[in-house]
A and B are shown apart, each in its own frame.
Chain A
Amino acid sequence: MSESLNLWTLVMNASWLAKLVMFSLFAISVMSWVIIVQKWIILSDASKEMFNFEKRFWSGMDLSQLYRDGSSKQKTTAAIGMENLFRSGFKEFTRLRQQPGIDSDAVMEGAQRAMRVALAREERVLEKHLPILSTVASVSVYLGLFGTVWGIMNTFVSLSSQSQASIAVVAPGIADALLATEMGLFAAIPAAIAYNRYASKVDSIINSYLTFTDEFSSILHRQAHTRRVQE
């Protein structure tokens, strides 16, 4: 046993399989943290956008004006979230309305379809990578345990060649083995927390989108039918 037991030397003394497990766990941890931070940025941006857009939308502003504002903004950043839903629906609506002799129900149907497609895209963006987090949360614990069991097994195997088993012989091997579980837990706990948090957040955002889609279609519906009545 060395004078000072550095964790790094502990890792380096481990068997190749334990090393493999530890390094893969480390990589998994890095990856899951990338996803955690990235999802956090994406989701907080989406909810902020949603909040801002709803405020503008219900401010009584003219819809075509709102659309044009969005168009000018789109030159710098692509529209995301609720604004994207609005734009695709409104674009389809105005396009179809300009077609001569088209049924207002058909116009409504087209606008709703366009919004449904946009909603599916938004959903995909929001939910992207979330399954990875849940996989990390459940699997890295097992991976860590696997490394630990392997390490402890090795320790006992090497112990069998010793005539007298002292704690000093067993301790480094077991500490080594436990390091794998520790790393597994380190990767799993944030991933599990983030997954639960983000899943509920994505759910609530998509619910808001659906509500907005319904509200916006009713507005469009009203416009389409009042126009036909005028005609």
Chain B
Amino acid sequence: MSKFHPLAILLKFEGYPPAVAASVILHALLLVFVLGRAVTPSDYVTIEDPVIITATAVDVNPQRLRRLERLEEEQAAANRRRQEDQARARREQEERARQERLAQEQRQARERAEAERRRQEDLDRQRQASAEAERQRQAEETRRREAEQARQREQQRLAEQAAREAQASQVASENLVVAEYAAIIRRVISQNWQIPPSARNGMSATVSLRLVPTGEVVSSSILQSSGDAAFDRSVLQAVERADRFPELQDLDNSVFERNFRNFTLVFRPEDLLR
């Protein structure tokens, strides 16, 4: 009988007890394996924060900027030199005229004294002494005049120097302001610039902007094409989208006229990729 029923024990109660036991054991094992295992966070893939690249278009390339600054400095130096030369020449002329005048006076005085002496050669020594005193007084006066002139010259020189310094500092502060506003313009335009897929490193397009004091762009044109029409177009579109730079309203009018009436920008894609 048991020969015919190898599963006889299992078959009691329709096989339910072994089935329940097997199922419970299976799930208990599962729980032990799955739930008992602690998953440490190091098992997770760490996701790094994406690197955010801010796009900036640099106006003129630094070399060009430096060259311009150098040029300006040289011009200023030349101006200064020229002015100095003129001043020196003028001073020398004055000096010469004065010396001549002095010499003439002295000569006249001498001649007068000579004539007097010749006329009153044998006259009393007192007159001579008084003449001597007179001469001394005259010499004293010339010395005094001379000193006065020297003082005036010194004053003039100092005033000139002060004016020069003031001018230099004014130029420097203006440069600072210009750089600040140029940076604003550059930032606004580069935010609006969508670089076309055809852009390649090494391309550059120079754009000339005409601005009015309210900050609006009156016109823009490509001064120097990049050679890629899409690139040029994207640059002009960026300018168009930027439309106006209200910050420019704060600018001093003369500074605006000197620097922003016509404004040149160079676009190059590698500035963005950096």
Chain B residues with CB under 8 A of A34: 16, 19-20, 22-23
Whether A61 is near chain B, meaning CB under 8 Å from some CB there, is: no
Chain B, residue nearest A27 (CB):
B27
Question: Are B41 and A38 touching (Cβ within 8 A)?
Answer: no
Question: Are B20 and A6 touching (Cβ within 8 A)?
Answer: no
Chain B 144-171 against A: per-residue CB contact (8 Å), 1 yes, 0 no?
A: 0000000000000000000000000000
Question: Are A38 and B14 touching (Cβ within 8 A)?
Answer: yes
Question: Are B19 and A38 touching (Cβ within 8 A)?
Answer: yes
Chain A 158-186 against B: per-residue CB contact (8 Å), 1 yes, 0 no?
A: 00000000010001000000000000001
Chain A residues with CB under 8 A of B14: 38, 42
Whether B274 is near chain A, meaning CB under 8 Å from some CB there, is: no
17 A-B pairs with C-beta separation under 8 A: A4-B40, A5-B39, A7-B34, A11-B35, A26-B27, A30-B23, A30-B24, A33-B27, A34-B16, A34-B23, A36-B19, A37-B22, A38-B15, A45-B11, A48-B7, A52-B4, A186-B30
Whether B18 is near chain A, meaning CB under 8 Å from some CB there, is: yes
- Shortest beta-carbon distance, B4 to chain A, in Å? 5
Bound together, the chains give a CA A56 to CA B114 distance in angstroms of 180
Of residues 1 through 19 on chain B, the ones whose CB sits less than 8 Å from some CB of chain A are: 1, 4-8, 10-11, 14-16, 18-19
Question: Are B35 and A7 touching (Cβ within 8 A)?
Answer: yes
- Shortest beta-carbon distance, B163 to chain A, in Å? 58
Chain A residues with CB under 8 A of B53: none
Of residues 1 through 33 on chain A, the ones whose CB sits less than 8 Å from some CB of chain B are: 1, 3-8, 11, 26, 29-31, 33
- Shortest beta-carbon distance, B21 to chain A, in Å? 9
Question: Are B7 and A44 touching (Cβ within 8 A)?
Answer: yes
Chain A residues with CB under 8 A of B7: 41, 44-45, 48
- Shortest beta-carbon distance, A49 to chain B, in Å? 7
Given A167-B47, A171-B44, A7 and B37 contact (CB-CB distance below 8 Å): yes
Of residues 27 through 58 on chain B, the ones whose CB sits less than 8 Å from some CB of chain A are: 27, 30, 34-35, 37-41, 44, 47
Chain B residues near A (Cβ < 8 Å) = 1, 4-8, 10-11, 14-16, 18-20, 22-24, 26-27, 30, 34-35, 37-41, 44, 47
Across the interface, B26 reaches (CB within 8 A) one of A7, A33, A42, namely: A33
Bound together, the chains give a CA A41 to CA B38 distance in angstroms of 37
Bound together, the chains give a CA A76 to CA B40 distance in angstroms of 57
Chain A, residue nearest B22 (CB):
A37
Chain B residues with CB under 8 A of A48: 6-7
Bound together, the chains give a CA A5 to CA B40 distance in angstroms of 6
Chain B residues with CB under 8 A of A113: none
Question: Are B15 and A76 touching (Cβ within 8 A)?
Answer: no
Chain A residues with CB under 8 A of B23: 30-31, 33-34, 36-37
Bound together, the chains give a CA A186 to CA B35 distance in angstroms of 15
Whether A210 is near chain B, meaning CB under 8 Å from some CB there, is: no
Bound together, the chains give a CA A33 to CA B29 distance in angstroms of 14
Across the interface, B38 reaches (CB within 8 A) one of A4, A38, A76, A186, namely: A4
Chain A residues with CB under 8 A of B39: 4-7
Q: Which residue, of B10, B23, B37, has the highest number of chain A Cβ atoms within 10 A?
A: B23
Chain B, residue nearest A76 (CB):
B1
Whether A206 is near chain B, meaning CB under 8 Å from some CB there, is: no
Whether A96 is near chain B, meaning CB under 8 Å from some CB there, is: no
The 5 closest A-B pairs by CB, nearest first: A33-B23, A41-B15, A38-B19, A37-B19, A4-B38
Question: Are A3 and B41 touching (Cβ within 8 A)?
Answer: yes
Chain A residues with CB under 8 A of B44: 171
Bound together, the chains give a CA A92 to CA B15 distance in angstroms of 30
Bound together, the chains give a CA A52 to CA B47 distance in angstroms of 64
Chain A residues with CB under 8 A of B10: 41, 45
Question: Are B35 and A6 touching (Cβ within 8 A)?
Answer: yes
Question: Are A30 and B27 touching (Cβ within 8 A)?
Answer: yes
Chain B, residue nearest A35 (CB):
B19
Across the interface, B4 reaches (CB within 8 A) one of A38, A41, A42, A49, namely: A49
Chain B, residue nearest A182 (CB):
B34
